[in-house]
Amino acid sequence: MKRILVTGGAGFIGSHLCKRLLAEGNEVICLDNYFTGSKRNIIDLLSNPYFELVRHDVTEPYYAEVDEIYNLACPASPVHYQYNPIKTIKTSVMGAINMLGLAKRVKAKILQASTSEVYGDPAVHPQPESYWGNVNPIGPRSCYDEGKRCAETLFMDYHTQNKVAIKIARIFNTYGPHMNIDDGRVVSNFIVQALQGKDLTIFGDGSQTRSFQYVDDLVAGLIALMQTDASVTGPMNLGNPTEFTMLQLAQTILELTGSSSKLVFQALPQDDPQQRRPDIGKARELLDGWEPQVGLKQGLQQSITYFENVLSAQ
């Protein structure tokens, strides 16, 4: 049994990760300040004697004896990370410093949940880990993009200078149950709008693309990356390489929900990427057979069921 710390553990991805780590026989400490996370996401874990929930903000130091750390704490949707951009970049940078300091002291392995946003609006397609990105350092998304880029720098420097055992995962668009109903990301937006009979809001002309990864596939990838030997530090892309336009996504959700909602088009937000698709060659090679398993329609159907239950409970 390992003792594992998950920051942001009550959030969308963190809650699924906590559940999987407990199922594999580990002891889990879940840290969250509930800015975007929720106790509802981990309510079924509270009775597990090997699960510990701590209300804590990673911008402040935290002390515990642990074997592994998954650093997931940070708002990840534009609506939330732009609400308080200074707090967002503090969470990424100071949170990384505090968790790396803890990992150094207790000799724990630590994984950073980085993001495909480090590639910005990419000039290379699909995006390999070797691509340095095309990021606006002073735009409305830069608090998140540059915060995550700086966190990657800190991880590599702690590894090089202090021999901390690190892993860096660059997470591409992920969806599934436990997303916030007001998350602001495209999958949850479209599903909620469709279920409520509202117009589906498409920014731009709908030709921009994303690659959508179901949360179970991501969690499997994160755990597989953590289990690699010390020579594998990352960065490593974790995503589903199947690419869809926003129009295709909207039409698929309308089909699966049976909604009669209409499509409406609005101006594209500043610095919104036109294309996003991961090159997952490195993950396929190094993660012992890891490969996304859940197709878009299957994952969307499970997400739709989740949001139907959330909406009916309101």
pLDDT digits (tens, 9 = 90+) for 220-247: 999 999 999 999 999 999 999 999 999 9
Q: Residue 271 pLDDT more than 80?
A: no
The catalytic residue positions are 144
The pTM (predicted TM-score) of the whole model is 0.96
Question: Region 48-70: what's the mean pLDDT?
Answer: 98
Which residues touch 237 (CB under 8 Å, ≥6 apart)?
116, 127, 128, 129, 170, 172, 278, 279, 280, 282, 283
pLDDT digits (tens, 9 = 90+) for 177-190: 999 998 889 999 99
pLDDT digits (tens, 9 = 90+) for 193-224: 999 999 999 999 999 999 999 999 999 999 99
Domain 3-176+213-240+277-293 coded CATH 3.20.20.70: no
